[in-house]
A and B are shown apart, each in its own frame.
Chain A
Amino acid sequence: MTVTPEAVPALGDFAQSRPLTLGVELELQIVNTHDYDLAPCAGDLLRVLKQQGVEGDIKPEITASMIEIATGICTGHGQVLAELGGLRDALQAAARKLNVGLCGGGTHAYQHWSERRIFDTPRFHQISELYGYLAKQFTVFGQHVHIGCPGPDEALVLLHGLSRYIPHFIALSASSPFVQGHDTGFQSARLNSVFAFPLSGRAPFVLTWEEFSAFFAKMARTRVVTSMKDFYWDIRPKPEYGTIEVRVMDTPLSIERAAMLAAYIQCVARYLMIEKPFRPAEDDYLVYTFNRFQACRFGLEGTFVDPKSGEHRTLRDDILATLAALENHAMELKAEQACREVRQMAETGENDATWLRRVFDGCGQQPEMVRQQCLRWG
C-alpha cells in the first residue's frame, strides 16, 4: 500500500451535513445452522437481496462471513430503529432462504481465524496481503455511529469531547466475551484485536481543521497512509460525509440496543455542542487508555477516572450522572425511551456480554449460545 511521491493524496474538504443528524453502520455475523460457525455466505446473501430488489445499504466486509448494514441520514432514535428494522427484516428473509443465521455480537465465540475467506475485491485482498493474519483475525463485528457536525473545527472539538465518553459506549455495547473458544474475562475482547493495528488508537489532539490537514499531509508524505480509511481510530472525522464516526462499539445483540446506543451518543453530542460543559484538553488523554481498558475488561462495573478532577467512580455511576445532565437533550431529540434503556442497563449493570455468559452457563455449549444469539437478533 504505497504511492509514488508525486501522488501524495490530499485530505479534501469537510462536507456539509446537518448538525446532530446520525447514521448507523452494523457489521453482522453470518453463521450456518448446523454447528453455528461462521459461514462464508455474504455473496449469496447479496445476490438474493439484489434479486428481490431490496433497497438499502447492505455491503460486503473484509471476510465473506460478515455483512454490513447501514441506515441513511437519520434525525433520531425512532428513525434509526425503523430503518434498522427494515434492513434486518429484509436480510433475515434472505438468510432464511439460504439456511444461514444472522446475529450480533462483537466476536464469534469459536471461529478459527485461519479458516476465514477474504471477500473477493481488490481492496480486501490488498489489505489481507499487507496485514497477513491480522486481517483474518480482524473478523470482529462493530457498530459505527456517524454524527453530523456544523463544520470541520466543530467536528474536531466534538471528537475530543466525546473521547471522555468512549468508556460509556464500550461498556454499554460490550458483547464479545468469547474469542477462539475461550472466555477472555473481558466484556469487549473485540477491541483488543483492533489494538493490534499500527494505526489504531486516537486522533491527534488538534482542534482546527487547518492543523488536522497539516497532520494528515505529514502522514501522507511519509506514505504510511493514503486516506482517512487507513486510520483505525476510536473516533475519526469523515470529511466526505461531514461527520465524525464513533467506532468503539461492539455490534449489540439486537437492533433495539444498537438504536439505543446511537441515540445516547447523539444526546451526548448535543449536550457537548450546546452546553460546552468542559474544554477538551490534551491532558484529558492521560487517563484515556486506562478508562478504555477498564470498560473493555469490566464493562459497566469498571472504574472510571474523571479526566478533569481525577476522581474515581464506577462507570455505572458516571453514566447515571451523565443521564441526569442529558434530560433536556433527550427530550429535544425524542430519545427519552433510549435514555431510559441506558439507565436500566446502568442500574442493573447488565450488558450483552453478561447475557452471553449467562446463556453459556445455562447450556454449556458455545454452538447453542450462538443459536440463541441468532434468535435474539431476529
Chain B
Amino acid sequence: MNGAFLPPLLADALAWTEVPDPVILFALTLVFAGLAGEFVFRWLRLPRITGYALVGILMGTSGLAEDNPLDSSAQRIVTDIALGILLFELGNRVRLGWLWANPWLLATSLAEAGLTALAVQAGLVWLGVPPQAAVAAGLIAMSTSPAVVMQVTAEIRSQGQVTERLYVLTALNAIYAVLAMQFLSGWWALDTPQESTRALLTTLYLISGSVLMAALLAWAVHRLTRALDLSEEPGAAILFGLLLLVFAMLHLFGLPAVLAPLLAGILLKNADPRPRLWPRHFGTAGGVLVLLLFVLGGASLRWQDFFAGGLTALGVVLVRLAAKLIGVALFARPSGLGLRQCLALGVALSPFSAVALALALDFRVSHPDLGAHLAPILLTAMAVMELVGPIATQWSLRLAGEERR
C-alpha cells in the first residue's frame, strides 16, 4: 500500500485499522468526497463534481480504489442508475417543437457535432494516427458529457438561452455519437460481403431495440408519475428499480446503455406537453448516486492516464473545443444568440466523459487493434476534461449571466 498520496487523516485511519477495511474505506470515501465537493463549491466556487472527481482520482492513483467494497456488479448498479437518472433528466429538457420552430438550432447542432468529428479526425490523421481509428475518435469526440452538463446546471440552477441550448445540443450530440459509432461498425463490416447483411441488421436492431426500450421506460414513468409523487421514497424506489431493470434488459439484449434512457426522457417530454416536475436527481438518494458516479469515474483513472496520450491528447481537447466554438458561432445570429452567449455555449459544450468513455470501451472490445491506438489518446483527453470540463461549463454559464443564486 502506497500511503504517500493519502491525505493525513486517511492515513491515520488506515494506520489505526492496520489492514484497510473496505467498508471503512468506502465510508471515508463518502465523507471525503462530500467534504471535497462542498469545499471546492463554497470556497473556490467550483463545481462540486470537481471535488468528487479529485477524491476519486486520488483513490485511483493511490491504489486504494482496488480495495473498494463495491465489486464490479455493485459499481455497475450505482453508475447505471446515476447515469440513467441524468440521461433521463436531460432527455426531459428537450422539446422537439423548438427544433421545428427554430431550424437554425438544428443547424447549429449538426454544425458543432459535424465540425468536431471532422476536425478531430483530420487532426489525428495529420498526427499519424491510422485513418480508421481517427474516424472513430472523431465520432466519439462529438459527444458532450450529459452527466457533467446536468450536474453543473442543476447545481448553480442556471437558466436562460445558453442553458436551454446546452441541454438540446448535448442530448443531440450524444445521440449522434452513439448512432454514428453503430453505423461505422456496420459500414466497416461491408468489406466482407457475407458479413454485410448481418452488420446492417445488427445496427437496425440496436436502434429499434433502444427505441422500444425507451418507449417502455417512458410509458412506465408516465404511469408512475400519475400514481405517485416521485420525490417520496416509494416513488423514487420504483423509479430506480425501473431504471435498473431497463439497464439489465439493455445489457441482456446487447443494446447501448446511453440511448434508451435519453430517448425515454425525450419521449416523455414530447408526448405530453403538460409540465412534469420532480426534484433534481429524484431526491437525495439520486444525488448520492450521482456523487458516487463521479467518484468512481475519477477512481478509474491513474495519474499515468493524464500523460499516456501525450500532446496528441491535448491537441484533441483543443481542436474539439475550437470546432465546437466555430460550430456554434456559424448559426448563432440566425438562431437568435448574442456573441457572449455564443462563446459561452461553445465552451460549455466541452465536457467529455461518460458517453465517450462507454463508446471508447465498446470500440476497444470490438476493434482491439484500432482501439489500442485510440485508448491512450482518448483516455488522457477524458482525464483532463474530467477536471477541466465541469469548471469550463460552470464558468461559461456564469459568464453568460445564467447563474441563479
Contacts and interface: CB of A to CB of B under 8 A. Distances in A.
Contact of A44 (B93, B161, B275, B277): B161
A378 B361 CA distance: 49
Contacts of B336: 44, 47-48, 51, 94, 97-98
Contacts of B164: 32, 99
A115 B275 CA distance: 21
Contact of A40 (B95, B98, B160, B273): B160
Interface string A36-52: 11011101100110010
Given A47-B338, A51-B333, A98 B275 contact: no
A35 interface: yes
25 contacts: A32-B159, A33-B98, A34-B93, A34-B275, A36-B275, A39-B160, A40-B160, A41-B160, A41-B161, A44-B336, A44-B338, A51-B336, A97-B101, A97-B102, A97-B335, A97-B336, A98-B102, A98-B336, A99-B102, A117-B401, A363-B274, A365-B275, A367-B275, A368-B275, A371-B274
Interface in B232-277: 273-275, 277
A123 interface: no
Interface of B: 93, 95, 98, 101-102, 159-161, 164, 273-275, 277, 333, 335-336, 338, 401, 404
A125 interface: no
Contacts of B160: 39-41, 44
Nearest to A93: B101
Interface string A182-201: 00000000000000000000
Contacts of B101: 96-97, 99
Nearest to A38: B159
Interface string A248-292: 000000000000000000000000000000000000000000000
Nearest to B336: A48
Nearest to B104: A97
Contacts of B95: 33, 99
Contacts of A36: 275
A189 B277 CA distance: 26
B346 to A, nearest CB: 17
A35 B93 CA distance: 10
A40 B159 contact: yes
A371 B95 CA distance: 14
A371 B272 CA distance: 12
Interface string A15-39: 0000000000000000011111101
Contact of B277 (A47, A117, A367): A367
Given A40-B159, A98-B336, A99-B164, A35 B277 contact: yes
A99 B98 contact: yes
A35 B161 CA distance: 15
Most buried by A among B159, B333, B404: B159
Nearest to A44: B161
Top 5 A-B residue pairs of the complex, sorted by shortest distance between their CB atoms: A367-B275, A96-B101, A99-B98, A48-B336, A97-B102
Contacts of B333: 51
A113 to B, nearest CB: 13
Nearest to B103: A97
B121 to A, nearest CB: 32
A218 to B, nearest CB: 42
